[in-house]
Amino acid sequence: MKKILFIAVTAFFFSCSNDSGFESKIDTLNLSDVTSKRLPCPPGTSESWSYDFDYVALHRASTDCTSRFSFCIHGEWVRDCLPYFNGKVSNYDAVTNKVSVVAVVLDDNRLELHFPIEIMSLPTFSKNDFDTFGFDSDYKIDDEVIIKTGEYLPKYTKEEIIVTVDLL
């Protein structure tokens, strides 16, 4: 009897359209299980990407990963939809030496990278490393999210270094 009731409720749910009062719930999808990672985010959220770097990977590849502020390696960024925020979204873990960098999509042409301010005091960086943030070649976060080659000026808050970059 429970199986019949479950099948009936499931069939009713899937037969209903948005016109009958049911709304699409994009926020309930597990975005890593769908083919298109660029589904729109629900209202009140922003598309974002995150990556946990070993802090020494935040240097320029052209310097053999020894200086200047950038990403030295490519890896897997994870897409998410974050609620609109006004606070810190990046993180530094002193125990594991991991830096969580968050990239928030501002629009089709720009991305905002958030780094924890604590990285400025790590021994592998000099103060001059943070004058600019840049790429010697285009940097791919995802097939549809590619940062343009160039130099970008960081902004500093009490908690984060924020860099707005251009997308291809």
pTM over 0.85: no
Non-local (6+) Cβ contacts of 107 within 8 A are none
Which stretches of the chain drop beneath a pLDDT of 70? 1-39, 55-56, 74-75, 85
Q: How many Å apart are CA 108 and CA 25, to the nearest integer? A: 23
pLDDT at 168: 93
Cα torsion through 55, 168, 84, 49, rounded to 10:
-40
Span 104-131, pLDDT tens digits: 999 889 999 999 999 888 888 888 889 9
Point out which residues pair with 98 in neighbouring strands: 54, 93
Answer for the pair 12, 4: CB distance below 8 angstroms, yes or no.
Answer: no
Percent with pLDDT over 90 in the chain: 28
